[in-house]
Structure 1
């Protein structure tokens, strides 16, 4: 009978709590820790106050190729690569890279959720994705593995025609709604 080290178990619990706080799904926790599913569910409820969400994890590399997700995935993966090159362990680099990503995007709901970031790392480890250099800006961007990338141009240097229009439309609708509510309030 093997004896588990209390220090190892504590480190596993600390990692699980940190991942839960960052938004990890139960499948991520099961894969990255040695904690039983029942204990992870209990821990998730304790940390988040709700049961863990159900459903499948993302499974397609195509999501990372669309314009905005590609920019966010490339930013996160750049942090991750740099930390790994400096000698950080896989999960330590992952958590730190995700925290750096959140600091840099400064959004309440980031484009790249933790589970997507974890999936991105797994896709790189499975050789489904790789990094290409933009021939215009020399930046490093996420691309499908084994695709010709000698003439690659990133989404920053050559954004699609629709880029940014969704946010502009949303802002215009919000401004119109505020004007309408102000007009209704002045009538009453």
Structure 2
């Protein structure tokens, strides 16, 4: 890794540690650069030194409708942002900081690996999470902007995410208001699907 000049040694070293943690969780250099106050090149250099390869090119996650594309997406996003919201309320923390993302995403991975993965998974290292750290970062910005809101299901009391969307189907509970198609995939319940079941 190249030696890069810096102004404040203690802040820079803290940011380097956080940058390493984020990259090991799968964060891409633009996110690391923004959260850790590092230059683009510094983030890329750290990424290459840790992973041994160049970072992936292309746009960062920006799909405003990802949360409502499937019930699985909604459950994972609700779990992650629920942990974040609870931490913010109890500890009076800021939403957008590298340490918060590292801590909350690590908790999410730990919980999700125990309750939201198939029992057939071979090892924790082989697990693929529906919500990666890059999309988690984007979801935080959506929550802060008010594009995502928490709703509590009147039936099962689950707290889930909903969006400002004209179709009420996407504001239903991802646990109660679903049905399974022939292939076993969970689908949002709609007036049409309720009639066929």
Structure-2-length-normalised TM-score? 0.75
Residue in structure 2 matching 1:68, options 51, 69, 72: 72
Distance of 1:53 and 1:103 partners within structure 2: 25
Q: Which has the larger radius of gyration?
A: 1
Alignment gaps of 5+ in structure 1: 168-188
Q: Using the alignment, how far apart are the partners of 2:174 and 2:112 within structure 1?
A: 17
1:6 aligned residue (9, 24, 39): 9
Within the alignment, does 1:111 sit opposite 2:130 as a pair?
yes
- The correspondence of residues 1-188 of structure 1 with structure 2, limited to 5 A, is 4-65=7-68, 66-87=70-91, 88-90=93-95, 91=97, 92-106=99-113, 108-145=127-164, 153-162=172-181, 165=184
Q: Which runs of 5+ in 2 are unaligned?
A: 1-5, 114-123, 187-197
The runs of at least 4 aligned residues of structure 1 exceeding 3 Å deviation read 145-149
Greater RCO structure (CA 8 Å; 6+ sep): 2
Deviates more, 1:104-113 or 1:118-127: 104-113
The question of whether the paired residues in 1 share the 8 Å contact of 2:148 and 2:162 is answered with yes
Structure 1 residues 147 and 141: CA distance shift in structure 2, 3 A: farther
Contact 2:30 2:43 in 1 (8 A): no
